[in-house]
């Protein structure tokens, strides 16, 4: 049996893990040994094992060797796209509707999360994303205008802040939180759902270096699901 490319090495290793040939927490053979067994270069084995380690199925430590992850912390990857694309991917017609756009002092909770002072100029944008003319997601966003002065002259009436920011403003990293929230009267009205309905909420805080660029909450209709595989 020979496994010449890293994909087939990976598959074989995966098979042994799933078949419990190599047990939880157990040390597996070294790269050199596997390379010999599989009849390929150590580099090839390394590539395969590295990929599996990234996926969380193996734990690797120098000198200590490679072992099957005791608790396979499943890494479920969520693809978070621009909402317009998300809607299009579902085969629905995308619609956008601006609800409100105004300079406003952000509430304390938002200021705290964004780490800005009380008198920081912030722009508040609220908008509705639609799929086939029915509400899809409600966007509630705060933008730090000191960081993104261009936002001041952007009306956000035809292009969503979601999309505009991603295309025009650089960022270094972001935090995401997913939670459930009961719809209040306002949200229920916009999303055309009963009050108190359970909505999926995605909060995103985007940073450029040490400065918060924008904070957004997306509220989805009650049936909405985030799907992924592992």
Q: Tell me which residues touch DNA (CB under 7 A).
A: 4-7, 30-32, 39-44, 46-47, 49-50, 53, 60-66
Read out DSSP for 1-47?
A: ----SHHHHHHHHHHHHHTTSS-TTPBPPPHHHHHHHHTS-HHHHHH
CB 192 within 8 A of CB 134: yes
Only one of the segments 2-10, 73-81, 119-127, 147-155 lies at the binding site for a copy of itself (rule: CB under 8 A); that segment is: 73-81
Site string for a copy of itself, 185-224 (x = CB under 8 A): -----------xxxxxx------x-----------x-xxx
Site for a copy of itself in 78-137 (CB under 8 A): 78-82, 85
In the block, tokens 């292009």 appear at 159
Q: Which residue has the tokens 């694309």?
A: 85
Distance in angstroms (rounded) separating the CA atoms of residues 96 and 157: 8
Phi-psi region of 73 (alpha: psi -120 to 50; beta: other; left: phi over 0): beta
27 versus 103: smaller Cβ distance to a copy of itself: 27
| Number of Cβ within a 10 Å radius of residue 46 | 16
Among a copy of itself, DNA, none, residue 124 binds (CB under 5-8 Å by kind): none
Interface mask (CB under 8 A) for a copy of itself, residues 5-24, using x and -? -------------xxx---x
- Other beta carbons less than 10 A from residue 52's beta carbon: 20
3 state DSSP class of 100: strand
- What is the smallest separation between the CB atom of 29 and DNA, expressed in angstroms? 7
Interface residue with a copy of itself among 63, 91, 170, 185 (CB under 8 A) is 170
145 binds, among DNA, a copy of itself, none (CB under 5 to 8 A by kind): none
**Burial class of residue 154, CB neighbours in 10 A (0-12, 13-18, 19+):** middle
109 binds, among a copy of itself, DNA, none (CB under 5 to 8 A by kind): none
Query: Nearest distance from residue 56's CB to DNA, in Å?
Result: 13
What is the rounded distance in angstroms from the CA atom of residue 157 to the CA atom of residue 135?
A: 17
- Nearest distance in Å: CB 90, DNA: 25
Site for a copy of itself in 172-191 (CB under 8 A): 172-182
State in angstroms the smallest separation of the CB of 23 from a copy of itself. 9
Whole-Å CA distances, 160 to 50, 135, 213: 39, 15, 16
In the complex, the residues that contact a copy of itself under the rule CB under 8 A are: 18-20, 24, 56, 71-82, 85, 166-167, 170-182, 196-201, 208, 220, 222-230
């Amino acid at each position: 049996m020979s496994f010449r490319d890293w994909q087939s090495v990976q598959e074989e290793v995966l098979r042994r893990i799933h078949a419990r040939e190599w047990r939880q927490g157990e040390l597996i053979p070294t790269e050199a040994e596997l390379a010999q067994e599989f009849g390929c270069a150590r580099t090839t084995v390394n590539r395969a094992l590295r990929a599996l380690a990234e996926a969380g199925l193996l734990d690797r430590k120098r000198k200590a060797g490679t072992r099957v992850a005791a608790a396979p912390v499943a890494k479920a990857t969520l693809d978070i796209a621009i909402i317009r694309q998300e809607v299009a991917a579902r085969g629905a017609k995308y619609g956008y509707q601006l609800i409100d756009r105004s300079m406003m002092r952000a509430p304390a909770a938002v200021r705290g999360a964004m780490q800005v002072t009380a008198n920081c100029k912030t722009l508040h944008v609220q908008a509705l994303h639609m799929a086939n003319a029915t509400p899809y997601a409600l966007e509630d966003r705060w933008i730090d205008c000191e960081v993104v002065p261009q936002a001041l002259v952007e009306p956000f009436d035809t292009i969503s802040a979601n999309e505009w920011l991603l295309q025009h403003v650089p960022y270094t990293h972001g935090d995401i939180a997913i939670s459930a929230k009961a719809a209040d009267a306002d949200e229920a009205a916009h999303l055309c759902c009963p009050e108190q309905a359970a909505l999926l909420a995605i909060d995103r805080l985007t940073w450029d270096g040490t400065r918060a660029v924008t904070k957004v909450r997306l509220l989805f209709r009650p049936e909405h699901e985030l799907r992924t595989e592992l």
